[in-house]
Amino acid sequence: MAELSQLLRQYGPPPAPSLPQATPPAFPSLPQATPPAFPSLPQATPPAFPSLPQATPPAFPSLPQATPPAFPSLPQATPPAFPSLPQATPPAFPSFPSLHQLNRPDTVRAGLGRLFQPYKKTKKDLAQPWGHRFYCCASTVQTQIPTVEETSSLQAAGLGTKQVVFPDVKCTSGQYIAVLEDVFPPLKLAGGFKITRSCRSRDLIDIPMPAGGYTVSFLKNNSNLNKAVAYIVPMQHNLTLKEVENADDVGHLYPQEMCCRCNSAVPLHLLQSHLQNCNSSIGTMGTDSSRTTIQQQSTWSMRICLLQNH
């Protein structure tokens, strides 16, 4: 088998045997068919119609032309002749020299220009006050909203919650600090302070301080404070909770009332404790004086009794 495949590769396949060519059969020739001869038909001639006479239109009689009636000519109307009026001549006014020809300043025109000058709308830089609610804390480590007890002690010390009104929104950082120190006098000893705000968990969140310090414009527009209470927390020193006893220390921040005993101005929220101290001293003095008066009256009554007996 291997030898057969080698021989096929060398000599190729064997030649196929040649077959004899097939010759077609000879068919007999058929005669050609001739068509039948049809007889020729005579041509049909159209019938001859008689000619009709031409119709002539009837002759209508001519009508006489109508002539328009002749109207009599009217005489032309002539307009009446009006007498000619003499032409009126305008009066001759004396000529005055113009203002530019006068050798003096144009004061009249300048005055009219000042009176009738166009109105200019000038926007004045008016002050825009801004008020907000502040709460001043006393501790430097205040991280939560103070309780009610802490608030009462802070209020007695001039701290706590107050409504602060700034005179102008465009005030500087120094003016902002001065207004807060005026409202909260103990804040001057804090050594700086920061502003915080509360959240839902009662924790205080710091409001980042800008490079130029807190300003009213920053707290109003850029601090996201909105209407929340601004909590002031001291940074270096804790604030003392000593009650304010002298009205001069707080100025106009607290309502004052004159003590009728010692004639001194006392803050209204401390008037009750002040009156207790004044009443104790006056009560002792009143007791001693009343005892002296009673003794004097008893001595005079004994003398009168002795005189009546004699």
- Cβ density class 178-214: b for 16+ within 10 Å, e for less: ebbeebbbbbeebeebbbbbbeeeeebeebeeeeeeb
Q: Quick one: 135 and 206 in the same domain?
A: yes
Within-domain flag for 114: no
Q: Quick one: 209 and 257 in the same domain?
A: no
Q: Quick one: 238 and 280 in the same domain?
A: no
Q: Which of 206, 227, 243 is the last residue in one of the domains? A: 243
Within-domain flag for 308: no
Within-domain flag for 101: no
Q: By residue range, what is the domain housing residue 145?
A: 130-243
* β-pairing verdict for 130-136 and 230-234: parallel
Within-domain flag for 85: no
Q: Quick one: 142 and 156 in the same domain?
A: yes
Structural domain tally of the chain?
2
Q: Quick one: 283 and 200 in the same domain?
A: no
- Name the amino acid, one letter, at 55: A
pTM for this predicted structure: 0.45
Per-residue pLDDT of the chain (310 residues; tens, 9 = 90+): 677 777 777 776 666 667 777 777 777 777 787 877 877 877 878 778 778 878 887 788 788 787 877 887 888 878 778 878 878 787 777 665 554 555 455 677 777 777 777 766 555 557 789 999 999 999 999 999 999 888 888 888 888 899 999 998 888 888 999 999 889 888 888 888 999 998 888 899 999 888 888 899 999 988 888 889 999 999 898 888 775 544 445 444 556 678 888 887 777 667 777 788 886 444 444 444 444 444 454 444 444 444 444 4
Q: Which of 201, 221, 243 is the last residue in one of the domains? A: 243
Residue 302 is encoded by which pair of tokens? 């004994």
Q: What is the CATH number of the domain that holds 226?
A: 3.10.20
